[in-house]
Amino acid sequence: MKFAIDNFYHVFNRGNNRQVVFPQKRNYAFFLSKLKSIVGEHCHIIAYCLMPNHFHLMLYVNETSSGLEIKSKPWLQVLEQKLGTLQSSYTRALNIPENRTGSLFQTKINVVELGVDHATTCFHYIHQNPLKAKMVNDFDGWPYSSYLEYFDQSDGICNKEIAYDLLEIPNSPRAFAKLSKEVVVSEEVISKINLSRPATPSGQATLSLTR
């Protein structure tokens, strides 16, 4: 897998054997802190949603992404390694108190390169996960997605300006909420998006859709 500048990426994975990976509320917050400190240093986080047994991220890589100054190895390769570090460090934190070993997540993180049109669709799909799973009745009822960062225009881990500029996401809370409800993304559509970009030197990894 190689990441390319000026591209969006859908990054997702689920628990091994579909097991729960966020058993308590504090685990969600801990994962997000790891996401910011480990991955956020090397790219822009655009959207995320953490579900009990899986997660979805949208990342954007451009020439202003931090980490470009690393000289010992190509920085795009570093980002790939950091995604693995995110999973392994989170897994260790959960395993140690339980005196447990083994993988918490499926072996490989899935990474799909997205064009702008597909990135916009995927952005909304990520926020729709809790509703599709019937965990909540409205977007703002799920505190573990980036929806609230955009709706409340609150500080967080996402680079909202990139979403406003490149994905044409409304920066008005009312307009954002309205659009989020109007755009309905089916599993069939997101599956086709995830399978529409075959592996190329500029970047794909495992393509199986996880829920």
Residue 200 lies in a domain: no
Q: Mean per-residue pLDDT for 131-143? A: 95
Confidence of residue 66 (pLDDT cuts 50, 70, 90): low
Residue 1 lies in a domain: no
How far apart CA 19 and CA 2 sit, in angstroms, is 29
Residue 16 lies in a domain: yes
Amino acid letter for position 110: N
Tens digit of pLDDT for each residue in 7-19?
999 999 999 988 9
How far apart CA 136 and CA 130 sit, in angstroms, is 6
Considering the chain, what is the average pLDDT of its residues? 86
**Residue 178 belongs to domain with CATH number:** 3.30.70.1290
Q: Mean per-residue pLDDT for 189-197? A: 76
- Domain extent for 16: 7-195
Amino acid letter for position 198: P
Residue 12 lies in a domain: yes
pLDDT at 108 over 50: yes
Residue 204 lies in a domain: no
Residue 91 lies in a domain: yes
Closest CA to 111 of 176, 39, 20: 39
Confidence of residue 207 (pLDDT cuts 50, 70, 90): very low
Residue 201 lies in a domain: no
Q: How many domains, the chain?
A: 1
Residue 205 lies in a domain: no
Tens digit of pLDDT for each residue in 35-55?
999 999 889 999 999 999 999
